[in-house]
A and B are shown apart, each in its own frame.
Chain A
Amino acid sequence: MDTIFGIPAVALYGQLMLGLINGSFYALLSLGLAVIFGMMNVINFTHGAQFMMGAFVAWMLLNWIGLGYWWALILAPLIVGATGVLIERLMIQRLYKLDHLYGLLLTFGLALIIEGLFRNYFGSSGLPYRIPAELQGAMDLGFMFLPNYRAWVIVASIVVCFATWYVIERTKLGAYLRAATERPLLVQAFGVNVPRMITLTYGFGVALAAFAGVLAAPIYSVNPNMGSQLIIVVFAVVVIGGMGSIAGSVLTGFGLGIVEGLTRVFYPEGSATVIFVIMAIVLLVRPAGLFGRA
């Protein structure tokens, strides 16, 4: 039982766990992108910067006001989500009648500006953020040690992803969202304030990114580039899963995290590129993505 396919079992489990952790972030971030794209047809390139802002707001709340991790988990998504609402109201809203490319360019430019501002103010060496006292330590699962904080990240991500899926696919509010994705003008003609709903949807997608950022703060160091490194992979995940599919983006996020982890065990040299190889194959075979509607 010490080796599996000639690989030490401990290494395999360890990489699987790491894959699940990465998958948790891929899932949360691609879910936010999918929600935003489904509703607004905007590919939100600011998403990585908003993830980073979530981590920084958690750091600021702790070091400037003394509010700890659990407060940050609630407040940071609200604060960063509110900046998203402003961005949608002041800028993105003007682009809906134009080609998708304009939304992409605007949000890409915003990401560069936001990251530049944070780099200017905080430097790029990274700031530490401690794991909250309640989640320090590790569990002995018998076959491996599982750090409590990593277990929490996986659970929190699954719960939030499932709750988001449930609201969109199974509730009245979600029915409005799905309907407005298909025919916004008709839903508005039923008496629903669709423009406001779109603004709040963008704010919610951004809040998801910030939530992921707070989860990430104790694992990765809090630094201005943390989002741009991650978001490239997340866009590949979204392309593989199919733009606009809620369940698809979550499943693809976790699945690709695990694939990446396994690759690190069996062929470490390929772990950084395996997701992009899969993306290329999916684009060739199923251009709409695994769960996408053509």
Chain B
Amino acid sequence: MLAVRDLEGWYGESHVLHGVAFDVAEGEVVTLLGRNGAGKTSTIKAIMGVLPKRTGSIRYQGAETASLSPDRIARLGIAWCPEERGIFASLTVRENLTLPPVIAPGGVALDEIYALFPNLKERLGSQGTKLSGGEQQMLAIARIMRTGAKLLLLDEPTEGLAPVIIQQIGRTIRDLKARGLTVLLVEQNFRFARTVADRHYVMEHGRIVDMIGNDALDANMDKLHGYLGV
């Protein structure tokens, strides 16, 4: 579904991605693991087209997207949940939730979203940024479930959240997978990642340095500890 090859990326003068290459198959949940500054978020941003400069090849369902603008990439069926969540302060919860245009049929209906996230339903009229951190994360994920996008890019959805909320996000990701959606997940917390993912790519210094299947995680624990420095 997604094939990344020779991906280079820059923030101004700073060269942050050095030939990133990996694949994601349809229906998979795949993580990018790695330390701070390894290039995980930059890789997601490059796929979404919001990194200031990128070269190389990013093919989505066979189509080359590395030269497209973010809105064109979104219209192909890719949706992004940024690390900082990106909840709009000048919009209500309802406006935040319904902001992303529906780009294809097959999105999750609002009623189902309210069933998954009852908290959001109670706060529809509130200002988006008045929600708690966990609720804002739910909102950020919920609003891209509606759009019919088939590949979801989730950037550290568990960062800074309480364990009970992390569990709810884990259930949501498994639910998305059950619906046939594909998820590329950036994580530092591999204890969480292993509860949802099929495969893990490890990034270091702007490169993919390893790929570990979820079932091979235990056997590779020493190696992984070395990569992540935990």
Contact = CB atoms under 8 A, between A and B. Distances in A.
Nearest to A191: B74
B90 A178 contact: yes
A179 interface: yes
B130 to A, nearest CB: 15
Contacts of A183: 86, 88
Given A185-B50, A190-B74, A191-B147, A175 B80 contact: no
A194 B89 CA distance: 18
A189 interface: yes
Interface string B122-158: 0000000000000000000000100100000000000
B69 interface: yes
Interface in B63-102: 69-71, 73-75, 79-80, 82, 86, 88-91, 95, 98-101
Contacts of A93: none
Contacts of A189: 48-50, 70-71, 73-74, 80
A187 B103 CA distance: 14
A178 B88 contact: yes
Interface string A175-206: 11011011101111111111000000000000
Nearest to B75: A191
B86 A186 contact: yes
Contacts of B79: 190
Interface string B43-73: 0000011100000000000000000011101
Given A189-B49, A189-B50, A194 B90 contact: no
A185 B70 contact: yes
Contacts of A182: 88-90
Interface residues of B, number: 25
B70 A179 contact: no
B100 A190 contact: yes
Contacts of B71: 188-194
Interface in B91-125: 91, 95, 98-101, 103
Interface residues of A, number: 18
Nearest to A186: B86
Contacts of A194: 71
Contact of A191 (B82, B88, B95, B101): B101
Contact of B91 (A178, A185, A188, A192): A178
A206 B229 CA distance: 56
Nearest to A194: B71
Contact of A186 (B75, B82, B101, B147): B82
Contacts of A188: 50, 69-71, 74
A111 to B, nearest CB: 30
A192 B100 CA distance: 8
A172 B69 CA distance: 23
Nearest to B102: A191
A192 B101 contact: yes
Contacts of A186: 50, 80, 82, 86
Interface in A151-189: 172, 175-176, 178-179, 181-183, 185-189
B74 A175 contact: no
Nearest to B50: A185
Most chain B beta-carbon neighbours within 10 Å: one of A172, A183, A189: A189
Contacts of A191: 71, 74-75, 100-101, 103, 147
25 contacts: A175-B91, A175-B95, A175-B98, A175-B99, A178-B90, A178-B91, A179-B88, A179-B90, A182-B88, A182-B89, A182-B90, A185-B50, A186-B80, A186-B82, A187-B99, A188-B71, A189-B49, A189-B70, A189-B80, A190-B74, A190-B99, A190-B100, A190-B101, A190-B147, A191-B74
Interface of A: 172, 175-176, 178-179, 181-183, 185-194
Given A175-B95, A178-B91, A179-B91, 15 more contacts: A172-B98, A175-B98, A179-B90, A186-B86, A187-B99, A188-B70, A189-B50, A189-B71, A190-B74, A190-B99, A190-B100, A191-B71, A191-B75, A191-B101, A192-B101
Closest 8 CB pairs of A and B: A191-B74, A190-B100, A178-B90, A189-B70, A188-B70, A175-B95, A186-B86, A179-B88
